[in-house]
């Protein structure tokens, strides 16, 4: 499932259990990917450690080498999936003509990611009740990245000066529900077409008069 390398997964382990070898990092990556499949299919409460280890093809002891509990792996998974979204979207921003084009590319990349990682919606939604801190961090950190992009765009003269955190949260909320509608519920519309509609909306809403 993951586009994240084994080395990147290392920080997800419980405190004091970070893998020190490449083999260990691959095992940890397999556990996180299996946890995504297990919780994505069954939810947190019905999902189990034994189900995760079966999916990962590792011994039960290997799970406890890296995680203290089911809660711990779920918490790590929320952070890991949030990081995967960040890492998947980041390359799409390079080479954008301006900030509106960058937001178009970011949404298109996110929809593509969500279509191959539909479980992210169930996992993040459950995090609101299973681990509220991780839930809040996911959205707060995402909004912070968008806000930073918007501020940079305004400084370059590509957006209105008054763009703010409110605009960032509004864009994130729009993107989240577009991903739900056009990635999880169905895939009938091309991501490029969806992103272009939103880019036009943003251009008329926060773009400068040309």
Contact of 28 with 9, CB cutoff 8 Å: yes
Rounded mean pLDDT of the chain? Answer: 93
Kindly state whether residues 65 and 79 are assigned to the same domain: no
Kindly state whether residues 87 and 61 are assigned to the same domain: no
Q: Does residue 136 register a pLDDT over 80?
A: yes
Average pLDDT over residues 64-70: 95
Q: Which CATH number does the domain housing residue 32 bear?
A: 1.10.10.60
Q: How far is CA 13 from CA 36, 53, 77, 141, in A?
A: 15, 15, 10, 20
| Other Cβ atoms within 10 Å of 49 Cβ, number | 17
The domain boundary residue, chosen from 25, 52, 70: 70
Distance CA 65, CA 14 (A): 9
Kindly state whether residues 64 and 77 are assigned to the same domain: no
Residue 1 is assigned to a structural domain of this protein: no
Confidence of residue 13 (pLDDT cuts 50, 70, 90): confident
Q: What residues make up the domain containing 27? A: 6-70
For the chain, give the percent of residues with pLDDT over 90.
Answer: 88
Q: What is the structure's pLDDT at 20?
A: 84
Distance CA 124, CA 85 (A): 12
Q: What is the structure's pLDDT at 7?
A: 38
Q: Does residue 2 register a pLDDT over 70?
A: no
Task: Give the pair of three-digit tokens for residue 152.
Answer: 């940079």
Kindly state whether residues 141 and 195 are assigned to the same domain: yes
Kindly state whether residues 137 and 175 are assigned to the same domain: yes
Q: What is the structure's pLDDT at 208?
A: 73
Distance CA 123, CA 75 (A): 10
How much is the pTM?
Answer: 0.89
Distance CA 57, CA 51 (A): 10
Kindly state whether residues 83 and 172 are assigned to the same domain: yes
Kindly state whether residues 91 and 150 are assigned to the same domain: yes
The domain boundary residue, chosen from 19, 41, 70: 70
The domain boundary residue, chosen from 27, 42, 70: 70
Residue 99 is assigned to a structural domain of this protein: yes
Kindly state whether residues 50 and 116 are assigned to the same domain: no
Q: What is the structure's pLDDT at 14?
A: 73
Cβ-based burial of 52 (10 A; exposed 0-12, middle 13-18, buried ≥19): buried
Of 13-17, 28-32, 47-51, 174-178, minimum mean pLDDT range: 13-17
Contact of 157 with 210, CB cutoff 8 Å: no
> 159: helix, coil or strand?
strand
Distance CA 64, CA 41 (A): 22
């Amino acid at each position: 499932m993951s586009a994240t390398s084994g080395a990147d997964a290392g920080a997800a382990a419980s405190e004091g259990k970070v893998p020190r070898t490449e083999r260990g990092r691959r095992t940890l990556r397999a556990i996180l990917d299996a946890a995504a499949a297990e919780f994505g299919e069954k939810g947190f409460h019905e999902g189990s450690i034994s189900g995760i280890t079966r999916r990962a093809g590792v011994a039960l002891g290997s799970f406890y080498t890296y995680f203290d509990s089911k809660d711990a792996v779920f918490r790590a998974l929320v952070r890991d999936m949030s990081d995967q979204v960040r890492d998947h979207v980041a390359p799409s921003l390079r080479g954008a003509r301006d900030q509106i084009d960058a937001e178009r590319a970011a949404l298109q990349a996110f929809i593509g990611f969500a279509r191959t990682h539909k479980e992210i919606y169930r996992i993040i939604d459950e995090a609101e009740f299973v681990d509220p801190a991780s839930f809040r961090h996911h959205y707060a950190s995402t909004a912070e990245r968008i806000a930073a992009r918007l501020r940079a765009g305004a400084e370059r003269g590509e957006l209105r000066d008054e763009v703010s955190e409110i605009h960032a949260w509004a864009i994130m909320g729009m993107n989240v529900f577009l991903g739900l509608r056009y990635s999880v519920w169905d895939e009938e519309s091309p991501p490029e077409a969806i992103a272009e509609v939103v880019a036009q909306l943003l251009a008329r809403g926060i773009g400068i008069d040309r």
